[in-house]
Structure 1
Amino acid sequence: MRILLAGSTGVIGRRLAPLLTDSGHEVIGLARTGAPFSVDVLDRDAVTAAVREARPDVIMHQLTSLSARDLAANSRLRREGTRNLVDAALASGVRRIIAQSISWAYGPGAEPATEQTPLDLDAEEPRHTSVAGVAALEEAVREAPEWVVLRYGTLYGPTTWYARDGAMAQMAAAGRLAADADVSSLLHVQDAAAAAAAALSWPSGAVNICDDEPAAAASWVPAFCAAVGLPAPAAAEGERRGSARGASNHYARKHLGWQPQYPSWREGFGTL
C-alpha cells in the first residue's frame, strides 16, 4: 500500500516508517519540517495539495504538538489539523485513515475503561481542552469509509517524556512527579508503532492500545525513578481522581490478536 504518514518525524512516526517499509509498503512522510511533504497541517490548502499529490491508499495520522508541552496547541492540532487531513482524504478518495488518540480521556469510573466507555466531555479545565480535542479528532476520523482510532496509553521509552532525559525525569528530579493513587495505563513507544502498523488490517473502530497492567502512580512512579537513576518520591496521600482509572486492552488482545512486546511497565522500564 501507499501510505501517507502524517507526523513522520515524530516520536512514533520515526519508528513506524521502517516497520511499514519492511512490510513492503511505500511510505510518504508528511511533517512540519524534515519530510518529503513539509507541510503545516493547520494550513488547509497545503494539506489538500499534499494529499492530492501523494495519492495515498491510507493516511496514517501520528501528528502531535507536544514539544513545548502546550496542551492547548496540541488540542488545536487535533481539532483543526485532523479536520484538514480528513477533508483532504475525502476529496482525494482515500478510503482508510488510522489516527492517534489517547486512552486517558474517558469519564470517571471504578474499573479500567473499555472502548465503550464515554469520553469525559464534562471535565473541567484544563482537562476539558484535551478531551474536547480528542473528541473532535475521533469524530472527524469516523467520516472516512474505513477508520481506526488508536487510543494509546501514556508513552514511555527513548525520546518520549518518560525517558532518562525526558520531561518527566526532569520533574522527578525536581520532586514534582507525584506518586499518588491516580491510575494510568502505560505503553512502550515501540509497541505504539507496532500497533499502528498492525491496524492497517483491523476493522473500523476505536482500540485501546496500552500494556496489560494499569497501575497507580504510587506503584509505577518509584519504578520509573529507579529506572532513570533518581530517588523515589514519597507516597502522596489522597483519593484517586475518578477519571484516572486506566484502560483495558482486552479488545486488542483477544479480538485483534495484538500483544505488546512489553506487557507491563515493569519490564518496559528496563529499556530506559
Structure 2
Amino acid sequence: RALIYIQDIFYSDRFIVDLEGIAQTAKVCNDSKIGERVYVGEHTYIGKGTTIGDGVKILGNSYIFDDVRVGDNTYIYPNVCAYKGCEIGRNCIIHSGTQIGVDGFRFEQDIGKKLVQKIIHVGKVIIGDRVEIGANSTIDRATFADDATNLLDDVKLDDQVHIGHNVKIGARTLIAAQTCISGSVKIGEDVWVGAGVSISNGVKIGDRTKVLLNAVVAYDVSDDEMISGFYAMPHRQWKRVFKKLTEW
C-alpha cells in the first residue's frame, strides 16, 4: 500500500490546479481557437490563429504569440512566452520563465567593415507529447522556415537549460540543469545529460548515452557510451587520464 501511495503522489495530476475560464485582464484574439475546460490567467495574451487544446491551463503574465498550437491538457506556468508558429504537444508542463521560439545566436561578422549582421530566424519549435521544460529554460527556433527545433515525446529538461537553433532531441532524453546545447546538435533517444554540460555545434550523440556532469562535448558520440571530462571522452579513459595528471 505504501508503494502504491508513493507512486500516486509522483505520477498523479493532483498538483495540477483545476482552474477554468478566461481572466478579466487576459486578451484572447477573436480568431484563436480555445478548447473546453481551458484556463487563461491574468494579463495573459493569446495571439491570432492560435489553437489551445482542451484542458489547457495557462497561468498569468504569459504571452502566446500568433499561430501557436498547444495540445490538450498542457500546463503552462506564469511568465512563459511561446513565439509565433511554435507547437507544444499534449500533456506537457512548461515551467515559469521559459521562452520557446526565440532567435538563435547567429551573426555574420565583417571585420573589414566593422559590422556584425544578425541572421533572422524564421523556423519554429516543435515539442512532442508529455514533455516537461524546467524554469527559465530557452529553446531557440530553427533558422529556416522549412525546419524546426525538435523535442520528441517524453523529453524532460531541468531548470535553466538552453537549446540552440535546429537542435533535435530524441524521445525520453533527460537533461539536467544549466546545460547548454549549441546549434544543430542531434541527441538520440533515452540519453542522460548531466548538469552543467556544454555540447558544441553540430555534435551527434547516440542513443542511450550518458554524459556526466560538467562535460564539454566537442566530438560525435556513438550509442551506449558513458562520457565525461573536458573535452569529453569515454569515462573509463578519463579516469585513466586523470590518474596520470601531475599533482599540484
TM-score, with structure 1 as normaliser = 0.25
Normalized per residue, the structure richer in strand is 2
Highest CA radius of gyration, 1 or 2? 2
TM-score, with structure 2 as normaliser = 0.26
Normalized per residue, the structure richer in helix is 1
